[in-house]
Amino acid sequence: MPVYTSEALILRTYKLGEADRIVVFLTRDRGKKRGVAKGARRAKSRYTGALEPMTRAGVAYYERELRDLVRINYVETQRSPLSAIGIDADGGSVLGHVGYFAELIDEWAPEAHADERLYRLGSAVVDALSDGAPIERLARYFEYWILRLQGVYPALSVCPGCGGSLEGGAVMPPREHMFLCRRCASSGHGTDIGADALRFLRASGRTAPERMDTLVLDARASRELETAHRRLLNTHLEKELKSVRVLREMAR
């Protein structure tokens, strides 16, 4: 039974039996895995604090052929977004978004198939969270990049309707998943994307998460992108994420 060691992102856990947990984690080199952490629910478990969502850790596990679950030997925390709670005044918002980021990665990470770009995005977001990056700005950045990595983010430079520039702003029409110029989307319906929001997206395409503080995104532009991104995510995932409902309740 081979033993594997890898850097990994913890995505979620759920109960198994009286004392164990099943852990879903994304490894850097072998994709997403599901494994059993024996005794993880005990009060004095050696896994305490290491299995929170979006924790980056060193993981060792045993894997048998034709078995869906691996057996986890140890999880050693390298960096945790929980460190951001002391930096951000709204700790609940940080926790809610941590669950949101983890669920998005879980939905798109392929089983047992390495996706280096997705892993690097998630790992960079852990660092940005831990360093206290503005959470709304980070969320819009993360949504943009995860959709871009899947090849489903709309074009930002030219209008697909007329080939004209989108510099002045754009509209995502109802039941469409593209950004049209305001002339082509003349009906006035749809999700408006202002010039400030488009500038943020273009800057995000060439900015690493650890340099999030160099990006500018005001509240209005953030709301515009949140609406557009949720539409895109719901369409391509064919559902609304549980964590989105949690964030919506928290906002109320």
21 within a domain of the structure (yes/no): no
User: How many domains in the chain?
Assistant: 1
| Cα radius of gyration rounded to whole Å, the chain | 20
pLDDT, one tens digit per residue, over 120-176 is 999 999 999 888 888 999 999 999 999 999 999 999 989 999 999 998 899 999 888
- Tell me whether residue 246 is exposed, middle or buried, using C-beta atoms within 10 angstroms of its C-beta: 0 to 12, 13 to 18, 19 or more: middle
Res. 87: pLDDT tops 50: no
140 within a domain of the structure (yes/no): yes
214 within a domain of the structure (yes/no): yes
Res. 88: pLDDT tops 70: no
Res. 89: pLDDT tops 60: no
Element (H, E) at 21: strand 20-27
Looking up residue 161, the CATH number of its domain turns out to be 1.20.1440.120
53 within a domain of the structure (yes/no): no
Work out the percent of the chain whose per-residue pLDDT is above 90.
Answer: 74
Q: Say if CB 60 and CB 4 are below 8 A apart.
A: yes
Residue 252 confidence (pLDDT)? 77
Parent domain of 224: 133-252
> Is 0.75 topped by the overall pTM?
yes
Q: How far is CA 213 from the centre of its chain?
A: 18
Residue 188 confidence (pLDDT)? 64
Question: Pick the residue with more confidence: 76 or 174?
Answer: 76
